[in-house]
A and B are shown apart, each in its own frame.
Chain A
Amino acid sequence: GAGVSQSPSNKVTEKGKDVELRCDPISGHTALYWYRQSLGQGLEFLIYFQGNSAPDKSGLPSDRFSAERTGGSVSTLTIQRTQQEDSAVYLCASNGGGTNEKLFFGSGTQLSVL
């Protein structure tokens, strides 16, 4: 596709359930990022992939959060045993991995935990 694609666009789940969020980056982009956007909190870095490896997972809030990337392309962010504080917009971005290279963001997944 022409841009970064994220699915689903909206997800409503019950507290305690697991959720999977998907990101399909721009073709050829080697670097992939997950950010979380909470109301009034700006964008919070979660994890960075270069190819299939994740050299920086420092932003993952707890061990309930995990992410993987396969084939140097699609990435999945998994949240286990969701809590209400996990409610946010989860944004994925990609680029070629160069220094100060602009990020191309998807439209995000709005996660609501009831």
Chain B
Amino acid sequence: QQQVKQSPQSLIVQKGGISIINCAYENTAFDYFPWYQQFPGKGPALLIAIRPDVSEKKEGRFTISFNKSAKQFSLHIMDSQPGDSATYFCAASMGDYKLSFGAGTTVTVRA
């Protein structure tokens, strides 16, 4: 049973468009929410992370929005580029060693 539900499973966006990936969780003990990016044939790599005491965090073209009351968080990729084509995983942890990952979203950016 996945503790973090991620949607959509895949999405296609035109170059320059906005990609939005959503995640939801039930466990209110989660207090750390990272996003990992994975290219084909590679392991996932940390992209950006947020704690629940802030509602938004931005790093370059990537923004996490966090809604604590709704127990939801999302990743927005602004001005999407072909190089952003990858699989994105949201995750959550209780401040310990164990991350619970979502099922992943494959993003394809068309030039």
Interface residues of A (CB under 8 A from B): 4, 31, 33, 35, 40-45, 48, 50, 56, 91, 93, 97, 99-100, 102-103, 105-108
Contacts and interface: CB of A to CB of B under 8 A. Distances in A.
Contacts, number: 55
3 nearest A-B residue pairs (beta carbon): A105-B43, A43-B101, A42-B103
Nearest to A49: B97
Interface residues of B, number: 26
Given A93-B43, A99-B95, A100-B49, 17 more contacts: A4-B43, A31-B97, A40-B104, A42-B2, A42-B101, A42-B103, A42-B104, A43-B89, A50-B97, A56-B98, A91-B43, A91-B44, A97-B97, A100-B32, A103-B46, A105-B45, A108-B43
B96 interface: yes
A33 B91 CA distance: 15
B93 interface: yes
28 contacts: A31-B97, A33-B97, A35-B101, A40-B9, A40-B103, A42-B6, A42-B101, A42-B104, A43-B89, A43-B101, A44-B101, A45-B100, A48-B97, A56-B97, A93-B43, A99-B95, A99-B96, A100-B34, A100-B49, A100-B93, A102-B34, A102-B46, A102-B49, A103-B46, A105-B43, A105-B44, A105-B45, A108-B43
